[in-house]
Structure 1
């Protein structure tokens, strides 16, 4: 045996021992697995994750709309004129049973201060059983368009105020309008006029406009709007998209204005866009045919103008009200109910119907028929009702009555004006 023999023999012996140990371990494991029940491992308990659906918050106004009947919703779309200076059965029926959204006081309703107060208070009292208070509205521009009784100072024509070119004065005019209208219990005024006096042959606007410069009309008109809004009166700017360039009185016939959209944007629409940008709550749409925008329908019945131009392009999301649908511009070519339905389809919210008890009743019926036939969806109806109720809530419109008019307070307020 060589000198490495003992060493190699030792290594071989060690390997043989290790091999036996490994075999014994393997055999032992095999025996354990076959002869002994496997140890149970406690499974991991996974609790199910419950994902709560997002909570749908329903506003009080949405809840109110859900609870309203179809007749109550339709009634909210109407602002009506009434006859005479005292409360009548017709007024009671329209307010109590047809749930009209508002009333406009016209010259034929003007009497003494106390008689006017009594009429307005009686209408509010008739509305008390209803869920929603009335818009009590008026055209109080000053100048030749005024519905104030004798003894109350009224504003001069807008043209005279426009000549002052004073935003503070114009804002004060809005404050004064708010003060005097609150005394009688009004909450809505169809003013200021934002039309541009761009056509000297215009028979209906003239000195009702602040002037011929779009920028001046925008600045002063919006200041007056803010004066009313800041003092709790809803300001309805008018007559969109502009009545200043017409040569026909829409009270008698339909004006037609041949102009381009570009000119409208540069002139007539300037004050309206400014008012919208500064938070206008309501816009009145005129009865004027603009063939460049819509060859078939006047503005007050045109989807291209109300929805396309006013809502989509100019981003107005407030309340749209028509000018009086009983004017010649409409009545010469349409029945009042069909004009009202078309105007609502076009995008209006409030339908102003100054004349005719039958016109008012038949319009309610026509709207009901259009909804039942699917021409107007209830979703579309709810959109307008929500705008109307939101506006009433914003201004805290109520059925509260007024006991008397403080003439001294009003006339003292008026004395603050200095209009040369």
Structure 2
């Protein structure tokens, strides 16, 4: 894919309110030119409706390749569900299976990812906010819970590599999350601001390790967490110390960096303040998910156009599409996965 002119795009990704765009939303998106869009369960009814919505989002900004994101991990976090779409096991299922049958766990995860990719490609969705590379520890808050593979950083990195390999082969951009790690948070960042007191050197050897192992990936998403031993004053999303020294420095992530949702209560202040602080810290793109037009207007007003560095990162990520996606037999994959999950695999 050749470089796309993004010079008129703002450094924000928005949601939308319902299953089709209103006239007001179309007018707003055309005027404000967000970089992309993210979909949720409220936006989804049928495959035909979803494809039409994806197409209309891109038409609203006049860019047929505008990224459309979704969270399709499996388990509790999958916006596309039966009867129209494949229902995936949570990542923690594969981590548990790995303890006794590692080969079966890896193959099952690979096939699961292929089936998810098939649904996304059919809908025209090009970015999946997955995989979750957080550690699953005894203290891990339920909001993460079995969304995380395991507590061993090496196992998390290995499983993450399987997921991203399949996604990239299918022409889907993965988003590794929640950098630099959400596993030690004991409160839900949707509801309050977590503080992690773990020493910096321990975090380097544990929580940061899966992200470092996959730091070459094109997109990543920050966590709304305060790491007391690194920056006791600001959550990672709004901390220049975390973004520059840890995410870009120690972890070595050089891809496009998104915030988690600005509406989460871990962040304080108005939405404009939240967005401004994240962008000032060095995040490339802010993510606003509610689809509420008045909120989007507030955020858009403070979001600058994409800078040259962010555009270069986007261009590197778009190289996912430089080759035709692999071809698989969906029905055969489904049959084999059923065998693996039932324990009948040879």
TM-score by length of 2: 0.87
* Bigger proportion of residues as strand: 2
Aligned to 1:419: 341
Write the distance in 2 (CA, Å) between the matches of 1:170 and 1:95: 37
Write the distance in 2 (CA, Å) between the matches of 1:110 and 1:61: 31
Question: 2:286 matched to 1:366?
Answer: no
Aligned to 2:310: 384
**Pair member with larger Rg:** 1
Q: Which runs of 5+ in 2 are unaligned?
A: 324-328
Change (3 A) 1:395 1:354: same
**Which residue of the other structure, out of 182, 185, 200, is the alignment partner of 1:243?**
182
* Bigger proportion of residues as helix: 1
Q: Deviations over 1:169-214 (max 9, x none)?
A: 3333332222221011100000011111113451211111111222
Change (3 A) 1:231 1:327: same
Write the distance in 2 (CA, Å) between the matches of 1:364 and 1:231: 32
**Which residue of the other structure, out of 88, 103, 114, is the alignment partner of 2:22?**
88
Question: 2:56 matched to 1:122?
Answer: yes
Q: Secondary structure of 1:320's match?
A: strand
Q: Secondary structure of 1:94's match?
A: helix
Q: Secondary structure of 1:150's match?
A: coil
Contact map agreement 2:139 2:185 (CA 8 A) in 1: no
Q: Which moved more, 1:306-315 or 1:135-144?
A: 306-315
Q: Report the CA distance between 1:149 and its aligned residue.
A: 3.8
Q: Secondary structure of 2:14's match?
A: strand
Write the distance in 2 (CA, Å) between the matches of 1:389 and 1:286: 24
Aligned residues: 326
Aligned to 2:93: 160
Q: Secondary structure of 2:225's match?
A: coil
Over aligned residues, Cα RMSD in angstroms? 2.2
Q: Deviations over 1:250-298 (max 9, x none)?
A: 111111111111111111111111111xx31111101011111112110
Change (3 A) 1:392 1:99: farther
Change (3 A) 1:393 1:317: same
Which ranges of 4 or more aligned residues in structure 1 deviate by more than 4 Å? 409-412
Write the distance in 2 (CA, Å) between the matches of 1:388 and 1:336: 25
Aligned to 1:315: 252
Change (3 A) 1:390 1:274: closer
Q: Which moved more, 1:163-172 or 1:388-397?
A: 388-397
Q: What pairs with 1:208-219 in structure 2 (closer than 5 Å)?
A: 208-219=147-158
Contact map agreement 2:113 2:167 (CA 8 A) in 1: yes
Q: Secondary structure of 2:221's match?
A: strand
Q: Which runs of 5+ in 1 are unaligned?
A: 1-59, 369-377, 398-408
Write the distance in 2 (CA, Å) between the matches of 1:233 and 1:190: 10
